[in-house]
Structure 1
Amino acid sequence: MAEIKADTSHHQSLIVSEPDVSDPKPSKSKHLASLDIFRGLTVSLMILVDDAGGEWPVLGHAPWNGCNLADFVMPFFLFIVGMSIALSLKRIPDQFVAVKKVILRTLKLLFWGLLLQGGYSHAPDKLTYGVDMKELRWCGILQRIALAYLVVALIEIVSRGAETKDMAPGTFSIFKLYYWHWLVAGCVLVIYFAVIYGTYVPDWQFTVQDRERTDYGKSYTVACGVRGKLDPPCNAVGYIDREVLGISHMYQKPAWKRSKACTENSPYAGPFRNDAPSWCRAPFEPEGIVSSISAILSAIIGVHFGHVLIHMQGHPARLKHWVPTGCALLSLGIILHFSHAIPSNKQLYTFSYVCITSGAAALVFSAFYLMVDIWSIRYLFLPLEWIGMNAMLVYVMAAEGILAGFVNGWYYKDPHNTLVYWIQKHVFVEVWHSRRVGILLYVLFAEILFWGIVAGVLHRLGIYWKL
């Protein structure tokens, strides 16, 4: 799911000074392997939840409120993008060159996002391509990353003068040094809260666009006429997307279709209940406009962690800042969710969701930093590190199913008689006598481990997909 490095696709500019006050020798620059490993883990999680989530709902997105494993993927990407921005842009002294690179990279992300998730590619199961421009999906994973990257990178460039200043001792001095980032974060929060709680949502209508559905072409009405609701049919996030993007340009198979109100098989997908409300059949954009504005917060928090890495000298000082910050964010998000003040919701990208997922990202990265960059337990995570170095390639070929779609294009007599289906059925499912277990092991070994090895070979050859 994404160019994950301020661009995220390659391991370029993750060089950071690692001075140790106990070492009399001059400090040397070394590669920050923990960030590549974290990136590789996040891409691997995307492959896992996309391809095994249907059999294991706990891996897939929560139907509405709550956090399943899949709901951590996007915030992890944005956190990594933020850290990479702090590390990479400081190597470009010329402000004009930096802005030019940021804009160009943003345009590349938008292009690949529209191509891969706009509807043009139907890989891996449908051996067709092309999209009706009336139904082109404008938003998606890479588009959201592009927006967050553009905004946060430009803020970083504007405030780059702070990096030349001496930082006063104390935990909170780094917040003061980069106060512009937190002012923007405050503005983002104010705008987000004003929109979701202040926007009036009227009744609305939609026509079923999914040609595979028996009620294709049928129109439904959803009764709302409310303000400040965070339920599936009447929230301001969906309303603004319908008005600005157009309902035909939104995601046609949102996770809410697996909710208890919609299907008897919840959290599995299945036929709708006889008494299912009309909104169950409607589209919803999980990477929409308002939720993408809120998603900028995840990248800003990531930038802050990158600033800590740059300015704070020594491993203990960094961990003493990262770990308490991660715990505080996680605790705040959990309290907001379980007190019902603000539910954690990925599709709305609520503030509690930002806190929970950013706190988790902070703790996971801190754990990798401790194990890899301090304890030097690196070889255990090499496949993840290789994937992280070539994240864009693995995202496109594996997470978006381009390679699997190509392989499926070579079949014998029947489109389902392909190498991919044969391996799934005979090597994994039938051996374990369980489709659920077989599919999970297939994804872990035939996809994630396979791409780890491929990325390792490409790394040895010095081949990376760079945006």
Structure 2
Amino acid sequence: MMVLVDDAGGAYPRIDHSPWNGCTLADFVMPFFLFIVGVAIALALKRVPSMRDAVKKIILRTLKLLFWGILLQGGYSHAPDDLSYGVDMKFIRWCGILQRIALVYCVVALIETFTTKLRPTTLSPGHLSIFTAYRWIGGFVAFIIYMVTTFALYVPDWSFVDHNHDEKKRYTVICGMRGHLGPACNAVGYVDRQVWGVNHLYSQPVWTRLKACTFSSPGTGPLRKDAPAWCHAPFEPEGFLSSISAILSGTIGVHYGHVLIHFKGHSERLKQWVSMAVVLLIVAIILHFTNAIPLNKQLYSFSYVCFTAGAAGIVFSGFYLLIDVWGFRTPFLFLEWIGMNAMLVFVMAAQDIFAGFVNGWYYKDPDNTLVNWIQEHVFVKVWHSERLGTLLYVIFAEITFWSVVAGICHKLGIYWKL
């Protein structure tokens, strides 16, 4: 899904990240990552023979995720279009997808490890016994920190220099308020500017696709001449405060894993999963449509956590029903293969490292590469449509291709693990 929305989102803006409030297909990717990380943590740590060894493995895996995240999204790699590499440390981006996963994984896995001796072997009777048997302390603390900071922190005026153009220009954003959930003066952006520095944030935020910023909305286009100052500003979608909120996504995933461990019957598991998912979706919809807390991926708002976790719970239950209960495993083998080599597909496909490698061999002109030739002649010109050709290229030349590669690696026993 990440490959699809990243590489086809430019042609189909409706599946790309929502410019601000709302939830599109792309906005489900990150919370789905964190949800299944939580499920995996519960299964992997249901027995902890040595707490010391478990903590060592958790810390080591966290450091590996941080390293690969900074390497791939910090600005060092310019794949696939630019064949150069390197990053100015003055502008390196410290946050990213793997960094957020690392933080959530570290916190949730450590809590799961340290509470291992408190786990019950059997549950007491009652529909809510699964909730009282485990400690939700990580998610609860994360929720309190996020909500208090978001609505109580004072955000002063701030300024920045736009480095995206030859002519550098300084802009000032007028704020002086609390509890603002718009692009300009929210606490999430303020915390990141204070922690990381404005030059180390993501320089191409999705809010530039808002109507206030461009006439091409919801697509990408040049900024309006009368665009507000914040349209030119950087913003970190995987920032510090929003990543604290994301811990709750991982905690909910852990809960689904606990249900899988303690309940042995299919109907009991599905009842627990679906009922919780429905409650989360109802809470999210009420918060969003009353405009109390809108769905917002960039802020990782509480309603967004609930909505995406509820959706993940429904999808998870659906796959469980199809594969584990009804036995339809063969049609979904490609997902199994990708899942067993997720890091390989993420690095090579989602981060375009393989495409950048292939583009290193070009003929006469750097744009005349095998990747561009296949996209143009096999897909775009055949279907006489840039949009449809791009979509089909992503589906067949990227997703299908890497499904086959992952399947071959599985047959050969080759896995890229952290």
TM range (shorter): over 0.9
- 2:367 pairs with one of 391, 410, 416: 416
**TM-score, normalization: structure 2?**
0.99
Counterpart amino acid of residue 415 in structure 2: Y
The answer to which of 273-282 and 86-95 deviates more is: 86-95
Bigger relative CO (Cα 8 Å, ≥ 6 apart): 1
Separation in 2, partners of 1:261, 1:229: 17
Instruction: Report whether the alignment pairs 1:119 with 2:66.
Output: no
Aligned residues: 418
Separation in 2, partners of 1:67, 1:268: 15
**TM-score, normalization: structure 1?**
0.88
Aligned to 2:121: 165
- 2:229 pairs with one of 258, 267, 278: 278
* SS state at 2:218 partner: coil
Offset of residue 190 of structure 1: 1.4
- 1:397 pairs with one of 343, 348, 353: 348
Aligned to 1:69: 25
- Contact 2:48–2:113 under 8 Å retained in 1: no
Aligned to 2:103: 147
Separation in 2, partners of 1:459, 1:372: 19
Offset of residue 227 of structure 1: 1.0
* SS state at 1:189 partner: helix
Separation in 2, partners of 1:158, 1:59: 40
Instruction: Report whether the alignment pairs 1:433 with 2:387.
Output: no
Aligned to 2:400: 449
Counterpart amino acid of residue 132 in structure 2: K
- Contact 2:150–2:188 under 8 Å retained in 1: yes
Counterpart amino acid of residue 227 in structure 1: R
Identity %: 66
Aligned to 1:208: 162
Q: Which runs of 5+ in 1 are unaligned?
A: 1-44
* SS state at 1:207 partner: strand
Separation in 1, partners of 2:36, 2:271: 20
Offset of residue 176 of structure 1: 0.8
Separation in 2, partners of 1:209, 1:50: 24
Counterpart amino acid of residue 105 in structure 1: R
- 2:188 pairs with one of 237, 252, 267: 237
Separation in 2, partners of 1:101, 1:169: 35
Instruction: Report whether the alignment pairs 1:135 with 2:86.
Output: no
* Aligned ranges 1:248-267 → 2 under 5 Å: 248-267=199-218
- Contact 2:36–2:253 under 8 Å retained in 1: yes
Separation in 2, partners of 1:200, 1:54: 36
Aligned to 1:339: 290
Offset of residue 91 of structure 1: 4.3
Separation in 1, partners of 2:259, 2:57: 24
Separation in 2, partners of 1:363, 1:90: 23
Aligned to 1:351: 302
Offset of residue 164 of structure 1: 4.7
Separation in 2, partners of 1:93, 1:79: 25
- Contact 2:108–2:138 under 8 Å retained in 1: no
Separation in 2, partners of 1:64, 1:209: 23
Separation in 2, partners of 1:139, 1:109: 11
Give the RMSD, CA atoms, in angstroms: 0.9
* Aligned ranges 1:86-105 → 2 under 5 Å: 86-105=42-61
* SS state at 1:386 partner: helix
Instruction: Report whether the alignment pairs 1:463 with 2:417.
Output: no
Aligned to 1:183: 137
- Contact 2:107–2:138 under 8 Å retained in 1: no
Counterpart amino acid of residue 344 in structure 2: L
* SS state at 1:133 partner: coil
Offset of residue 167 of structure 1: 1.1
